[in-house]
Every structure is written in structure tokens, then in C-alpha cells.
Structure 1
């Protein structure tokens, strides 16, 4: 027992003597600092390697990131009929297509003020003949809301890349100029127009690309991108509505005067030619 106690006391005394030496604690501090510094340098080195290999946050195990939400814009929309119940809708008057058959072109003419006018859109009615909600065919910005006795009021919505949709023969208008609308928003109620009285309660729906009317029936339920790629070739003058023609006459009265003077001149020449021919016949 005494031997064991002597051993323990000698060990503790040797430890105490060791720590009493002046260089022990500085050595411990230096060694600890060296270990800490080595760990810091190793960590920085490993972090630099991860940047070198361009690791993404999603590559780190256990770290979850939410990918940015993809915004659904009007470029991904399909062109829709401007009515809620397309199955009950009837196209009363079709679009006048210059490449269509003669009978189809004749059916697409609208008689107004003793003149046959090519229909620049489609006139849509319901089977029961009642009024209905007129919906936005595409998302866009309302650029025109106009009272027009001939056309039965007009709403115009502008879209991307030169595309404009127009809604005529409407009443109880719900939108204002400058308002942004989404596809399917209610714009107004179907009404009547003086321009196409035979159509009854209807909405006249137009699609224009770069100012030229195109056939809406060709693009219904198709991506709007197909319409954006269209390069219209029809003459703007041949597809003008009566109000547009009147507006052009007001803006350029000289043009209409020149046309009328040309007609009078042509008529005068014809009469002179006829009188000359009659004199020659008399002399002979």
C-alpha cells in the first residue's frame, strides 16, 4: 500500500514539476494556435476547391432551394372565342377571304348604305338569339372604348407584336381605356349595330396584325405565336370599315376630291368620244 501511495505521489509531483517549467505553457499555446491555424487554412482550401468546380446550392446534400417561378404571359395563350359557351355560338357572318370561293365571298359581304362591304371579322351570335357576355380573347391593354352608332360601340385591345383584337356591336361596357385585362375577362354584352342589322344580337370580332384584318377563324384555339408570325398581305383599303373610310375622308379630303374629279374627267372623255363618233357617223 505504501509503495502504491509512494508511486502516485511521485507521479503527481513529477507532473507538477513539469508544469512549473517556464516553457511548458508557451509551448502548449503555440501548439494549440498551430492546430487552429492549420484547421482554418484547410477549411479555406476546401472551400476554394468547391468554387473551382462551380458547385450549385442544389448540389449540396440536404440543402433545398426553390427554383424561380416561371411567369405565364400572354405569349403562351391560345386565341379564344370571345364567348363563354363556344358550343352554343354561331358565326352568322364569316370573314371575307380574298382567296375563298365566290359563294363564300358573297356570303361574307355586308350590305350597308347601298354598298356591299367585305366583312373584316366574324359576327358571332347565340343559337337562342339572346344577348351574352363578350369576353377578352387574349390578355392585353384596352386602348379604345368608343360609342359608335353605326358599329354599335367599339372596344379595342392591344397585345404583343402588332396584334389588336376589336369587339364591335357591344353594350353595357365594363372596361376603360388603359385597363389591363386577362383572357376571359368580361368586356361587355353583345348588342346590335346599324352596319349589320341582319345579324341581330351579336358581337363583331376582329383580329388585326400590323393594322390589317386577318381571319379569326383560322387562329381560334391556336397559340398566339402562330398569329405573331403572320405577315398580312391584304390591302388595308379593301378591308376598311365604313367608319374608317369616313375618318380617312375627313383626314384626307383632297384624296377623295381627286378620285371624284378623275371619275368626272373619265365621264367627260366618254361623252366627248360619243359625240365625236356620232358626228362622224352623221357626216358619213
Structure 2
């Protein structure tokens, strides 16, 4: 991995963690985050290549993930339209057949995103500088992305664990729990499964990032950022290879559903799980504050 390469920065976190705010921040600071985005500013080419139905049922091989990374990097830098092999076209077309509206896999991407991916071209000269993306599922593939992308940087967004336990966004738990050693248990209340996944996935991302990506990894508590965005903004800009003095965009923070857990009965959550949550949050308090 070349330290001289322009930084590539990604943003991820559990679905519903507020990652859109940070995608808006990157884009406003001049970073190209993709042309095929949904309303949440997710890069849908990443979704096509990584959020595969098959991978929600089994662990992907290292070679499969490496191939997805190669295709995504190529699409975002030089495009695939004039530089893709027949075998890679076959792979992408197979993924297309799963997607809506012709298929039944509701990943968030649609078949038209596959067409856009295959027709991708090099960015215009004025957009060919720093780039990155936001897609919540990025954290699932963090070790492979770090090993294979040059000068890779990553921002991991964490939202309050109790609020996330009662979130209606359960897709990551359903799709990826098996990758974190969390077996399905019949009759388990949804908030318990959600909180188990929140702990396992966030522990995996923060552990890897702090151990293997010093200086290239950042954890941000969503609630703390909403309360003090100016404390975090310079560090985000610097991590992305930009000017820390860049003014923070006006109207960036529009927090919602903070504290939703106060409207729910917490007794559904076992005390050992709550103790585990508190221990992890204490660890976060020691590393996630830039001041």
C-alpha cells in the first residue's frame, strides 16, 4: 500500500447511524463520493458489488471480496466501460439478475445501477482528485478494504446502542449477523438481536481500526458530533486529506430520533447484555473524543 497515493476515504456504520451527515460533509469539502447515489447518499455501486444476497447466507471468500474491491476501485477511478473482462461482466450480470425490479433481492440498489456501473467512465478532470464513498455496510469489509486499497482512510459512525436496539432498521442484523458469530435464536426479541449485533459489529470495526489503521481511522459518536460538530470537523477534513480550516457547512446537522430508547421498555434487554453495552461505551469514551 503506497502512502504517497491520494487518500481514499470511506464512511460506514450500522444502518440508521446517521452516516448521511458525514457523506454530506465529505462532498461539501470537495471529495467525490460517486455519481450513483440514493437519497441517503449511499454509493450504490458499492451496494451492488458487496451487499450480495449470497453473502448474507455464507461468508464470502477472500478472493471474492478482493474481486469486488478491484471492480469498485476501477469503476470509481478509470471506469469499467472500456476495461472490464468477460468474466467480470458475467459476474456483474449475475448480480444484476438478483436485483429489483426483475429479481427479488431488495439490497437498496436496482438493476439500473448495474447498467450505470458497467458504463462507468473516468471522472471529469475537475473531479479526478480526492474521492471516497459512504455506504453503511463498508465496516463489514474493513480489513480487506484496508489491505487492498492504497492510502485507505475510514470513519466509523456509532449511534447510541439503546437507540439502535429499538431501531426499525434491522437489515444489517439480518444480513451480516452470521459473519460476527451470532447464531439465530428462535424467539429472541428483536431489540436483543439488534443490540447483540451492534456490540459485535462495532467492536470488530473499532478493534481493527485502532490496531491496524493508526492515523487513518476515526470513530465518531453521532450524538457527540451533533452536539459539537466544530470539535470533529477539522479532524474529518484532515483525515480526508483536506484543509482542516475548511468551514463547516451550514445546515449540516439535522439530528432526529436521538433518545428513542426512552420510549421503550428496557426490561426486554438482559442485564448481562446491558453490562456489556456499558463496558463498550466506556471504552468508546476513551477514544472517540477529539478534544
Which of structures 1 and 2 has the bigger CA Rg?
A: 1
Quick check: TM above 0.5?
Answer: no
Structure showing the higher helix proportion among its residues: 2
Higher-RCO chain (CA-CA 8 Å, sequence separation at least 6): 2
What TM-score comes out, normalization by structure 1 length? 0.25
Q: Greater strand percent: which structure?
A: 1
